[in-house]
Amino acid sequence: MDTGDRYRRFAEREARGQSPTYERLARSVAEDAGLLRLLDELPEPKRQPNLLFAAVRFLGGPVDDPDRFRDWVTAAWPEVAVTMLARRTQTNEAARCAVLLPVLARLPQPLALIEVGASAGLCLHPDAYRYSYGDHRVGPAESPVELSCAVEGEVPLPDRVPEVVWRAGLDLNPLDVADPDDLRWLTALVWPEQHERRERLRAAADIARAAPAPVHRGDLLADLPALAATAPRDATLVVFHSAVLAYVSAEVRAAFAELVGGLPGHWISNEAAGVLPGVITDVPPPDGAAPFLLALDGRPLAWTAPHGQALRWL
């Protein structure tokens, strides 16, 4: 697929219905020979629409008008290219905790949490957020972050948040919510119309800054065993991840599943359907945006919406 097709496909399959701003921009980039030539100077994985649009917003460029966007990007290309080469798409969505919570709460407490692919670690604080599953509410009433999740089926709704006594993240490129540039980058990754997500990011970042959980630089395969060995023995170890394994090869996914299966404790995965080949179900997914499959120790439990906004128990 050439770069123009990639932008056309992004407009049609990802931005349409979600972000009129990005849909318009992506369609315009797809037809713009000058911008496509610039993008093609970058390595193939760095030509992504999300990366370009976030880089331009990060640098203060305009995204509301395709002509102004083209002129600005063309003039500022060296700076845009440096940003795209240095940064990655690492959206961190605290709301994914809403689909993890019913599983975390059922495990023997207390918990020691390891999140692989943690980005800035916002999903390492499931005990700090308030949740509403329809009219079922749980979590600290004073929390500034409220996560709403629509539920279907026999979801085992918890009465309390889990007791977390230890937490740590692992990421190839950890982001630091205490670093203004990293926080600005995380903010630029949220699409322009997603005001609620931006507000949630700001509030969740405040929580993470106040009670930092370490996110170590490392690879989910090579560096997980050493990190797991530092977890306290008197708590249930839970290794979890969401929206991460799509970034690694099929061989790495299989090796990771084997590795984590050999660790003590439990493994929670929340990944796009098909990403973990052994994690499958006959129950058809709900309509709408490509769903994720939530699984405990490789056994599917629920279909989930990609940003944690819905949970359909199998």
Ligand X SMILES: C[S@@+](CC[C@H](N)C(=O)[O-])C[C@H]1O[C@@H](n2cnc3c(N)ncnc32)[C@H](O)[C@@H]1O
The distance of closest approach from Cβ of residue 282 to ligand X in the complex, given in angstroms and rounded to an integer, is 26
Beta bridge partners of 159: none
Orientation of helix 20-30 relative to helix 49-58, angle to 10°: 110
Query: In 3-state terms, what secondary structure has residue 290?
Result: coil
Does 116 bind ligand X (CB under 6 A)? Our answer is yes
Q: Which of 18, 74, 173, 230 contacts ligand X by CB under 6 A? A: 173
Binding mask 40-79 for ligand X (x = CB under 6 A): ----------------------------------------
Tokens of 83: 């940003």
Q: Which of 4, 46, 70, 91 contacts ligand X by CB under 6 A? A: 91
Does 8 bind ligand X (CB under 6 A)? Our answer is no
Does 172 bind ligand X (CB under 6 A)? Our answer is yes
* Sheet hosting strand 236-242, strand order edge to edge: 150-152, 310-313, 299-304, 292-296, 266-272, 236-242, 111-116, 164-171, 215-217
Select 30 or 204, whichever has its Cβ closest to ligand X: 204
Interacting span for ligand X (CB under 6 A) from 91-99, 128-136, 160-168, 278-286: 91-99
Select 143 or 242, whichever has its Cβ closest to ligand X: 242
Residues 202 to 221 in contact with ligand X, rule: CB under 6 A: 219-220
Tokens of 106: 């059922």
The distance of closest approach from Cβ of residue 219 to ligand X in the complex, given in angstroms and rounded to an integer, is 4
Alpha-carbon distance of 115 to 126, in angstroms, equals: 12
Beta bridge partners of 132: 137, 148
Q: For 148, list phi and psi in degrees, rounded to 5.
A: -100, 130
Amino acid, res. 234:
D
Count of residues touching ligand X (by CB under 6 A): 23
**Contact positions vs ligand X (CB under 6 A):** 88, 90-93, 96, 116-119, 123, 170-173, 219-220, 241-244, 247-248
